[in-house]
């Protein structure tokens, strides 16, 4: 019986289990229309292969900024590239599909002519029992967002119904992945400062709350650095606010070069920055703060052939789980104010009275 079912078309196989195609596709389409990439990947590698009578499937998501395809999920045990560069030479079938934005669908990949895909282009060709395959670029508003690969079709060829279904699925999946990317972009922008791309004021407090909660649960401390751009009003008055924006942006870039990946830099206000250093004691935070002051002042910023000398004043303090976010920012701000009074371009430390 199982052998007989394998010889049937995709539509006939679905009807064999007592479901019409419409009854089967409607919930799948509803499942695809979501913001959960794991759910979409599961449908791509489990449900769609079952409907189309395909044994092997993999889903790649495109990082368009870096021109790299990242493997999201596969349903077979064979080795497969987890990362594929679009600049790879010679181009793999996936890259050809991405560049052309067209479905590659053939009963024999070895004889495919538009364009010719040599066996040397397919690193894992020995893993497949048949030579048929479908490589579907997933598009959202005519932009490629991923690729769905299907291979080893049970009945050894893709018929007209299979092609129609694959095109339908590709459109639905592409639209959903595009929606996920847009949602992630909006979420990212909501937490970022528009000028510097650092965390914004709201996000800074969320991060501070999170780190304090972690310290209360697991113990430890954190340090916070508050930095203020020196003489920004004078720069704005002399060269204009666009020059001031350039100074702020460049200083933010220099600050981020001085911190670790686990540290979080934020634009706290107009000319003020804040840095959260998790699991960092004062002596180590002081080293970072002094490095920031030195790095910011290390090179002039050019504005319309004028040389602007940048500098920052910095306040730094170490805090424990008993402190509140307002305590932390107020105390580091006091150290910052002390640095301003001391002549700017320097670092001052907040020291509690009981220490």
State residue 160's pLDDT score: 83
Q: Can you count the helices (H) and strands (E) in the chain?
A: 12, 13
Residue 296 covered by a domain: yes
- Distance (Å, whole) CA 296 – CA 225: 15
146 with 179, same domain: the answer is yes
148 with 251, same domain: the answer is no
Under DSSP, the state recorded for 92 is: P
Q: Which domain holds residue 22?
A: 2-189
110 with 182, same domain: the answer is yes
154 with 53, same domain: the answer is yes
- Distance (Å, whole) CA 235 – CA 301: 11
Under DSSP, the state recorded for 111 is: G
17 with 154, same domain: the answer is yes
Query: Which of 228, 54, 222 lies closest to 128, judged by CA?
Result: 54
Between the alpha carbon of residue 29 and those of residues 15, 26, 167, 172, the distances in Å are 18, 5, 13, 7
Residue 355 covered by a domain: no
State residue 248's pLDDT score: 97
Helices in the chain by DSSP H: which ranges? 2-6, 10-16, 21-32, 37-42, 48-52, 93-100, 160-190, 201-218, 232-239, 241-256, 282-296, 325-341
Which CATH number does the domain housing residue 248 bear?
3.30.70.270
Residue 354 covered by a domain: no
Averaged over successive runs of 10 residues, the pLDDT of the chain (355 residues) comes to: 45 47 80 93 94 92 93 89 88 86 71 49 56 88 94 80 89 95 90 93 94 92 95 95 96 96 94 96 95 96 94 95 91 92 92 56
Task: Work out whether strand 133-140 and strand 104-106 pair parallel, antiparallel, or are unpaired.
Answer: antiparallel
pTM of the model: 0.66
76 with 6, same domain: the answer is yes
State residue 125's pLDDT score: 56
Examine residue 90 and say whether the peptide bond preceding it is cis (omega within 30 degrees of 0).
yes
Residue 176 covered by a domain: yes
CA angle 275, 281, 284 (to 5 degrees): 75
113 with 60, same domain: the answer is yes
Residue 194 covered by a domain: no
Residue 244 covered by a domain: yes
Max distance between CA atoms of the chain, in angstroms, equals 88
Q: Residue 256: exposed, middle, or buried by beta-carbon count in 10 A (0-12, 13-18, 19+)?
A: middle
- Distance (Å, whole) CA 303 – CA 312: 18
Q: Which of 141, 163, 189 is the last residue of a domain?
A: 189
State residue 338's pLDDT score: 92
131 with 163, same domain: the answer is yes
161 with 34, same domain: the answer is yes
State residue 157's pLDDT score: 76
Give the relative orientation of helices 232-239 and 241-256 as an angle to the nearest 10 degrees. Answer: 140
Q: Which of 133, 157, 189 is the last residue of a domain?
A: 189
71 with 147, same domain: the answer is yes
Residue 323 covered by a domain: yes
CB 37 within 8 A of CB 72: yes
- Distance (Å, whole) CA 344 – CA 295: 15
Task: Decide: helix, strand or coil at residue 197.
Answer: coil
Question: How distant is the alpha carbon of residue 265 from its chain centre?
Answer: 18
CB 11 within 8 A of CB 161: yes
Helices in 71-136 by DSSP H: which ranges? 93-100
State residue 47's pLDDT score: 92
Here the tokens at position 218 are: 């697991």
Here the tokens at position 85 are: 């560069």
CB 334 within 8 A of CB 301: no
Which CATH number does the domain housing residue 32 bear?
3.30.450.40
26 with 130, same domain: the answer is yes
Residue 24 covered by a domain: yes
Task: Work out whether strand 347-349 and strand 301-303 pair parallel, antiparallel, or are unpaired.
Answer: unpaired
Gyration radius of the chain's alpha carbons: 28
33 with 166, same domain: the answer is yes
State residue 243's pLDDT score: 96
- DSSP assignments along 245-297, one per residue: HHHHHHHHHHHHTTS-TTSEEEE-SSSEEEEEEET--HHHHHHHHHHHHHHHT
Q: Which of 189, 214, 248 is the last residue of a domain?
A: 189
**How many structural domains compose the chain?**
2
């Amino acid at each position: 019986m199982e052998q007989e079912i394998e010889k049937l078309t995709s539509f006939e196989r679905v009807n064999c289990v007592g479901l019409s195609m419409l009854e089967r596709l409607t919930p799948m389409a509803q499942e695809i229309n979501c913001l959960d990439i794991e759910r979409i990947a599961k449908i791509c590698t489990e449900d769609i292969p079952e409907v189309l009578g395909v044994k092997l499937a993999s889903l790649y998501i495109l990082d368009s900024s870096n021109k790299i395809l990242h493997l999201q999920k596969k349903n077979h045990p064979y080795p497969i590239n987890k990362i594929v560069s679009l600049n790879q030479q010679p181009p793999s079938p996936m890259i050809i599909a991405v560049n052309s934005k067209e479905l590659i669908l053939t009963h024999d990949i070895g004889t495919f002519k538009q364009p010719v895909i040599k066996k040397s282009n397919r690193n894992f060709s020995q893993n497949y029992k048949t030579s048929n395959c479908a490589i579907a670029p997933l598009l959202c508003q005519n932009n490629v967002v991923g690729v769905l690969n299907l291979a080893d079709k049970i009945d050894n060829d893709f018929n007209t119904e299979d092609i129609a279904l694959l095109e339908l699925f590709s459109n639905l999946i592409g639209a959903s992945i595009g929606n996920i990317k847009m949602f992630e972009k909006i979420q990212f922008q909501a937490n970022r400062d528009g000028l510097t791309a650092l965390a914004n004021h709201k996000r800074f407090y969320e991060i501070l709350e999170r780190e304090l909660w972690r310290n209360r649960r697991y113990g430890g401390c954190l340090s916070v650095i508050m930095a203020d751009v020196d003489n920004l009003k004078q720069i704005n008055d002399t060269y204009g606010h666009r020059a001031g924006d350039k100074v702020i942006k460049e200083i933010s870039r220099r600050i981020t070069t001085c911190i670790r990946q686990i540290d979080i830099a934020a634009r706290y206000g107009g000319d003020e920055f804040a840095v959260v250093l998790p699991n960092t004691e004062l002596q180590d935070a002081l080293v970072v703060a002094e490095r920031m002051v030195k790095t910011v002042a290390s090179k002039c910023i050019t504005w319309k052939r004028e040389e602007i000398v940048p500098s920052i004043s910095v306040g730094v303090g170490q805090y424990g789980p008993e402190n509140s976010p307002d305590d932390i920012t107020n105390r580091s701000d006091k150290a910052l104010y002390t640095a301003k009074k001391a002549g700017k371009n320097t670092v001052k430390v907040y020291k509690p009275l009981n220490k």
